Amino acid sequence: MKNHFMRVSVITLLLVGAAVSAKIAAAQSTPNGSSLFAVSSQSGSQSNTQGQPSAADSQAPTVITLQDALQRARKLDPTYRTALTAAGVAREDHVQARAALLPGVSYNNQYLYTQGLSLPIGITTDTRYIANNGVHEYISQGNAHEVISGTQFADFNRTSAAAAAARANAEVAARGLVATVVKTYYAEVVARRKYANAQLAADEANHFFELTQKLEQGGEVAHSDVIKAQLTANDAQRTLRDAQLVMDSTHLELAVLVFPTFNQNFSTVDDLRLPPPLPPMQEVEQQAKAKNPELYAAMQAARVAGLEVLSAKAGYLPTLTLDYFYGIDANHFAVNTTLPEGIAHNLGYSASATLNIPVWNWGATQSKVRQSELRREQAQVELSAAQRKLIADLKSLYAEAEGAKIQLDILQQSADLAAESFRLTTLRYQSGEATALEVVDAQNSLVTARNNYDDGEARYRLAIANLQTLTGAF
C-alpha cells in the first residue's frame, strides 16, 4: 500500500512537470514569447549589473532600442567619424580650388629706403641704386590679382570629384556601421535568449534528476537512470555558466559601441519577432545600381584620376597673370605733395599682364603626366573590380537573406516539434515505455532547437543589414 501511494505521488509529480514543460514550450512558440523572454530579460539584467557600484545598481537601467544604438554609435565610432572628417576636408579642398579661380584682393604697405649720393649741383641723379624711384619711396596700394591657367580649372573639377568620392566613402562607412551595430545588438539579444534557454534546461534537468531519484526509491527504475540524470544536470549547469559568460561578453561589446563612458547598466529591446520584409530580387538590383556607394566612389575615383591627367598636361600651357594696383607709390607718404611747380597728386593706378610660357624644366612636366596616367589606369582597374564585386556580393547576400528567411519557418517548426517530443517522451518515461537516455536526448534536442531558432532570427536580421550596405534602406 505504501509503494502504491508513492507510485501515485510520483506519477502525479511527473504529470505536473510535463504540464509545466508543455506550457513553457507553448509560451516560447507564441509570437511574442513573453514567458521565455521575460525570464531572459530578468536574468540578463541581474547578470549585467553584477560587479557595478551600489550607486549604479540603485538607478533604473537605460532601455536601448536598435535605433537608439545606431544613433549613439554614429557619434562614437572612430571609423565612421574618420570618414566624415575626410568628407569635410575634401569639401573644403573644393572650396579652396574654387576660390583660386576668382580674383584675390590685398592691400600692401611698404617703405623703401635707398642710399643717396652727394653730387655736384646740377646733377639730378640722387640714388645709388636705380632700381628704386628715390631715396625715400612709400608704397600703399591695393592689388587685385588673378592667375588664369588650365591647371586651376582642372583642379577645380578634380576636387569636386574627390569631394563626391569622399561623401560616397562616408556613406559606405555609415552602412558598414549599421551592419556592425545590428550584429552586436542582436548578438546581445540572442545571448540573453540562450541564457534563458539554458536556465530552463537546467531546471528541467534538475527536475528529471529528482524524478529518477523518487522512481528509484520506489523500485521502478535502475540506479543507472539516476546517474544519467545527474550527469545531464551537471552538463546543464556547465552550459548555463557558459551562456552567462557569453551574455556578459556581448553586453560589454555593445556597451563599448554605444556609450561614451563605461556603462553596463542598460538593457536592450528584443524585437526579433518582427522581421523586416525582403523585397524581390529585381527591386534590390535596381536599388543597388542606383544607390551603391562603393561603386559610386570607384567611379568618382576614376574621374579624379582622369582630371589629374588633365591637370598635369596643363603644365605645358602658358599661365596668364593679371594685376591691378591703386594707391600711393611716391616719395612722400601723402595723398598730395607740394612741389615748386604746384601740387602733385600721389594717388594713381597701374596694371600689368604677364604671360608665362613654359619652355624647359628637365622633363618634370612629362613625369607628372606619366604619374597621373598610371593612377588613371589603376583607377579604371579598381572600378572594373568594384563593378564585378557588386554583382557577386548582391547575389551572395540576397541568397543569404532569402535562405535565412526560408529557414525561419523550419526552425520555428523544429522548436515546436522538439517541445512536443520532450513532453511525449517524458510521459512515456513515466509510464515505463521510454528510457532515461531518450528523455535526455529529447531534452537536448529541445534546447538545440530553441537556440537554433534564436540564431536563425538574428541571422536573418544581419543578412538584411549586410544586403542594405549595397542597396540602402528598403
pLDDT per position as a tens digit, 60-82: 889 999 999 999 999 999 999 99
Alpha carbons 116 and 242: distance in angstroms, whole number: 95
Residue 50: per-residue pLDDT: 40
Q: Give 110's pLDDT tier (boundaries 50, 70, 90).
A: confident
CA 278, 280, 285, 286 dihedral sign is: negative
Q: Per-residue pLDDT averaged across 297-307, rounded?
A: 95
* pLDDT > 70? residue 423: yes
Q: Average pLDDT for residues 80-93, to the nearest whole number? A: 96
- pLDDT given for residue 32 in this prediction: 36
pLDDT band at 431 (very low <50, low <70, confident <90, very high): confident
pLDDT score at 120: 57
Please say if the pLDDT value at position 21 is more than 60.
no
Assign 432 a pLDDT band (cuts: 50, 70, 90). confident
- What share of the chain in percent tops pLDDT 70? 84
pLDDT bucket at 14, cuts 50 / 70 / 90: very low
pLDDT of residue 218: 83
pLDDT value at position 99?
Answer: 94
pLDDT tier for residue 17 given thresholds of 50, 70 and 90: very low
Band of residue 282 on the pLDDT scale cut at 50, 70, 90: very high
Average pLDDT over residues 126-132: 56
136-148 and 104-113 strand pairing: antiparallel
Of 157-166, 201-210, 329-338, the least confident: 329-338
Question: Which three cell numbers mark 333?
Answer: 607718404
pLDDT (0 to 100) of residue 343: 83
Q: Where are the domains of the chain?
A: 2-102+149-317+358-471
Give dist(CA 256, CA 263) in Å, integer. Answer: 8
Q: Tell me the pLDDT band of 58, cut-offs 50, 70 and 90.
A: low
Give residue 339's pLDDT. Answer: 76
Nearest in space to 208 (alpha carbons), one of 382, 363, 454, 439: 439
User: In the structure, what pLDDT confidence band is assigned to residue 84 with cuts at 50, 70 and 90?
Assistant: very high
Residue-wise pLDDT for 453-469, tens only, equals 999 999 999 999 999 99
Say what the pLDDT of residue 333 is: 84
pLDDT at 221 over 90: no
Q: Convert the pLDDT of each residue in 380-408 to its tens digit.
A: 999 999 999 999 999 999 999 999 999 99
- Cα angle 269, 272, 275 (rounded to 5 degrees) comes to 130
**Average pLDDT over the chain, rounded to an integer:** 85
Name the pLDDT band for 111 (thresholds 50, 70, 90). Answer: confident
Tens digit of pLDDT for each residue in 147-203? 999 999 999 999 999 999 999 999 999 999 999 999 999 999 999 999 999 999 999
Q: How confident is the model at residue 25 (pLDDT cuts 50, 70, 90)?
A: very low
Residue 131 scores a pLDDT above 90: no
Higher pLDDT, 186 or 434: 186
pLDDT at position 119 = 56
Higher pLDDT, 97 or 48: 97
One CATH from 3.90.950.20, 1.10.260.40, 1.10.1200.10, 1.20.1600.10 for 2-102+149-317+358-471:
1.20.1600.10
Give 30 or 90, the one with higher predicted confidence.
90
